[in-house]
Structure formats: structure tokens, C-alpha cells
Amino acid sequence: MGNTGSCTMETYRILGHANAALSIIIDSLHSRLGEGFSVEIISNIDAESNEYADLAYSLDTIRIEEFHYRSWTPSLMSHFILGAMSPRTKRTIYETFLREFRIEKAMYASVRHPHVTLANCVESGRGCNFGPGVTVAPYTRTGDFVTLNRNVSIGHHTRRGDFCTINPGANIAGLCTIGEGAQIGMGANVIDRIVIGANAVVGAGSLVTKNVPPNTLVYGVPARVVKER
């Protein structure tokens, strides 16, 4: 676990419906803890509404149970994991469980794969998910519920806002700001001192050389505004 690395819980409670992201989260837990834990998934949607219901995400060696949140009572002693990757889904899950059960940010744990390299002077918020191969340079700051997927590189003095997601293989240079709810596509490159606005999306493989306005989709080499969101 990230900022709860010394936690001795045997059961990890993942909030959010079964989906592809859970395979990454459970793999990180397994890589760090081995097989000495179980998982409870507390779903925020009905099974028939889940388009990922038939998608494999679990491991045979780990006991996994799923509950719908309407028939579930939380333990206030629990640390919870937010089970999603996209900014919009993460926000929806967080707001649902905050409204229904008053599960606040401080009650979430972060999940960090053991093959993550964090420099000194790195600040991380609650409920983050760092995948294998992630490298974070010094004096960076990560907000709450931030996802850094596999092989992401973060440059020095870069800030990442709440709920933002940086997808596999993206490279963010130094002194950048990634706004709340922004999403950086696979293999994208962002040069130094760039500001990515809140809820903006950078398309896969793009090269960002200019600031990105909030609520826009940019794409290309160099990246240009394609449309407003």
C-alpha cells in the first residue's frame, strides 16, 4: 500500500463496480503482499448495468466477494480503495460513497506497486494508484485519487490535481501542472512548464508544447485543440 504501507489488514475493501481497473489494483496488492489477503468489492451499480461483469480481473488464489452498496454496512475501522481509473468514474464512485456512507478522503488508502520509484520530497494524497514502472522525480505533489499507470514518468516540481489520470507510457516533464480531473493519453509527452487545464484530455501519442485550456480535447504532434468537452 502507498501511504498505508504498514497496514496489517487482511481484507481490502474496494469501492466501485467490478471493472478492468481492478485487475491492476489487485495485481499491485498481490505483488506487494503475496496471497495473505482477501478482497471485498462494494459495487455502486447493479450487476445488470455493469458492462464489465464478464471481464476477468481476479486471481484464483485470492478470495474475492462482491456486495451491492445498498446491502452493505461499512466498518469505520476500514481503509478503502477506490476501484477505478478514469477521472469521471473515480469522481462518481467517491461522491456516491461520501453521500451514502460519509466515507471521506482520509479513509482511503493508496495502492503502489513495488516496482515504483519515488524520489525524495514527493508528496502524495489519498486514494492514489501507482502502477509498475512509474518514476516520480523530486519535489512533486500528487493530489487525491490520482492514477499513474504503468511506466509513467513524472518530472521534478510537477503537480497533479485530484482525480487526474495519466495513462501508460506518458512522460510529463518538470514544472508542469496537471489540472483536476484531467486525463493524459497513452504515450503522450508533455514538455516542461506546461499547464493542463481541469478536465482536459490529451490524446494518446500527442506532444504537448503549449498550455491546454480546461475542458478541451487536444491531439497531435504538436497537440492542438480538437474540440471542447
- The pLDDT of residue 187 is above 90: yes
Closest CA to 211 of 229, 221, 225, 227: 225
CB 128, CB 108: distance < 8 Å: no
SS3 content of the chain, % helix, strand, coil (to 5): 15, 30, 55
pLDDT in tens, 167-186: 999 999 999 999 999 999 99
Arithmetic mean of pLDDT, 99-123: 95
- How far, in Å, are 52, 171, 190, 217 from residue 202 at the CA level? 25, 12, 9, 6
What are the structural domains of the chain? 11-107 (no CATH), 111-214 (2.160.10.10)
Active-site position among 68, 115, 156, 157: 156
* DSSP secondary structure letter of residue 212: B
Mean pLDDT (the chain, rounded): 91
- The pLDDT of residue 84 is above 80: yes
- The pLDDT of residue 102 is above 60: yes
Lowest mean pLDDT of 38-47, 100-109, 146-155, 160-169, name the range. Answer: 38-47
* pLDDT for res 3: 45
More confident residue, 52 or 117: 117
More confident residue, 129 or 229: 129
Per the annotation, the verdict on 113 as an active-site residue is: no
